[in-house]
Amino acid sequence: MLRDIDARELIPQREPILMTQTLYEASGNDARTGFVISQDNMFLEDGHLSEMGVIENMAQSAAATAGINTYINGEKPVLGYIGEIKKCIFHRLPEAGETLTAEVHYISEAAGVVLYNISSHTENGPCAECRMKVFLEK
Amino acid sequence: MNWNTYYEIKDSSIVDGLHSFEIRIKSDCDVYRGHFPGHPISPGVCNIGMIRDLTEKVLQKKLRFSSIKQCRLTGMITPINTPELTVLIYIATSEGGCSIKAEIKDSEKSYLELKADAIYF
Amino acid sequence: MIKEELIAKMNEVLAEEFEVEVEAITPDADIKKTLELDSLSLVDMVALIEDTFDIKIDGQDVSKIKTFSELYDFVNEKVNA
């Protein structure tokens, strides 16, 4: 089992749109990531992370999960794009200072597209859930 | 996010309830420092945010998405290769919010299709 | 599970998920054309088959399959393995 990997080792996104920080642990094709929402985050609106910020956190968490094998092989992170978002429900938009945790669950993959179920929460409760396809550039 | 830094509206029209915007993606937006270094690609979430921003302009109300039923991203938008785009938005209002169907396209192809619900905020 | 049951179940779930008439699904028909699958939606079919028959299949293998009869044979082999 892998633990506490810097997300920058897994995905090519950087500031100001690096929206996940640490892959806490990975097991099989699933993983859990963490992200402390800073006061100067580009997706903050009236002190809350916007829906777009919440989605981007889930997307980068999924891309980081998909990037584990590349990391293990000692290769540079590949570009991953959102292919599709489905059944995305927002429960609560977190505030700056909270730690956003994303749980990424692998479902299937075909033709370079990986399908995940993802949910996110902070210490103050659930934030969002969705089914997402991530397209990986090979 | 200040959406004025991300895109600008060149023209707009409405035909049979379908709102059509001609927009330009700005290449000097700060987001491209990180998405991706030396290789600017417009983030899918920014294009979803642009649709919310345009819908807010139409309704003259602040919105928040309550759910995204489906969003397919079928093409890559970049400020270099595809800066000029058409955004089509169909809005059905209901008490306290609206349903949105939108598409981002140009004469060549479709880049994004969105079905979402939003609430007034 | 006998193969006739598998075929009937497969046609039923595919028709529902991809919103086509079940009659359109014939053994020699092209899967991608019939279900209007693109590179993004192929994984939906893989996930649906895995879920329906409680099996794990390789997306690489499935992307090579052209007709429904090939798909029935492929899934039948996995289910009865």
Q: What are phi and psi of A66, to 5 degrees?
A: -65, -25
Q: Structural domain boundaries of chain A?
A: 2-136
Establish, for the pair of chains A and B, how many residue pairs have beta carbons separated by less than 8 Å. Answer: 87
Q: Do B102 and B113 touch, CB atoms closer than 8 A?
A: yes
For the stretch C5-39, pLDDT in tens is: 999 999 999 999 999 999 999 999 999 999 999 98
Amino acid at A58: M
Number of CB pairs < 8 Å for B and C?
Answer: 3
User: What structural domains and CATH numbers belong to chain B?
Assistant: 3-120 (3.10.129.10)
pLDDT for residue A98: 98
Can you say how many angstroms the Cα of residue A122 is from the centroid of all Cα atoms in its chain? Answer: 14
> Taking CB atoms and an 8 Å cutoff, what residues of chain A touch B33?
14-16
Q: What is the pLDDT of residue A137?
A: 85
Cα separations (Å) of C1 from B114, C4, C78?
A: 40, 8, 11
Residues of A with CB under 8 A from a CB of C: 83-84, 107-115, 133, 135
Which residue is listed with tokens 């270099």? B80
Q: Which residues of A touch C42 (CB under 8 A)?
A: 110-111, 113
Greatest pairwise CA separation for chain B in angstroms: 45
pLDDT along chain A (138 residues), means of 10: 91 97 95 98 97 98 93 89 97 98 96 96 98 91
d(C-alpha C22, C-alpha C74), whole Å:
20
DSSP letter assigned to residue B35: S
The pLDDT of residue C1: 81
**Are the CB atoms for C63 and C42 separated by under 8 Å?**
yes
C59 vs A109: CA distance, rounded Å: 6
Give the pLDDT confidence score for residue C22 in this predicted structure: 96
> Which chains does chain B touch, 3 or more C-beta pairs < 8 A?
A, C
Q: Are B120 and B96 in contact (CB under 8 A)?
A: yes
Cβ atoms A15, A49 nearer than 8 A = no
Residue ranges making up the domain that contains C48 = 3-79
pLDDT of residue B44 exceeding 80, the answer is: yes
Q: How confident is the model at residue C48 (pLDDT cuts 50, 70, 90)?
A: very high
Minimal Cα distance from A135: which residue of C? C40
Q: With bands split at pLDDT 50, 70 and 90, how would you rate the model's confidence at C81?
A: confident
- Give the distance, in angstroms, between the CA of residue C27 and the centroid of all CA atoms in the same chain: 11
Is A81 part of the contact surface with chain B (CB cutoff 8 Å)?
Answer: yes
Other beta carbons within 10 Å of C80: 10
Structure-block tokens of residue B85: 């785009």
**Tell me, what's the pLDDT at A4?**
94
Is C71 within 8 Å of C31 (Cβ atoms)? yes
Say whether the ipTM exceeds 0.90: yes
Partnered with residue B8 across adjacent β-strands are B24
If pLDDT is split at 50, 70 and 90, which confidence band does C60 have? confident
pLDDT at residue A125 in the model: 98
Compare all CA atoms of chain C with the CA of B75 and give the residue at the minimum distance: C40
Cβ contact (<8 Å) for A51 and B65?
Answer: yes
The domain tally of chain C equals 1
Which 94-113 residues of chain B touch chain A by CB within 8 A? Answer: none
Q: Which CATH class is domain A2-136?
A: alpha beta
**Rounded-to-integer distance, Cα C62 and Cα C78, Å:** 12
Percent of chain B whose predicted confidence (pLDDT) is above 90: 98
- CATH classification of the domain holding C32: 1.10.1200.10
The predicted-structure confidence for B70-91, as pLDDT tens digits, reads as follows 999 999 999 999 999 999 999 9
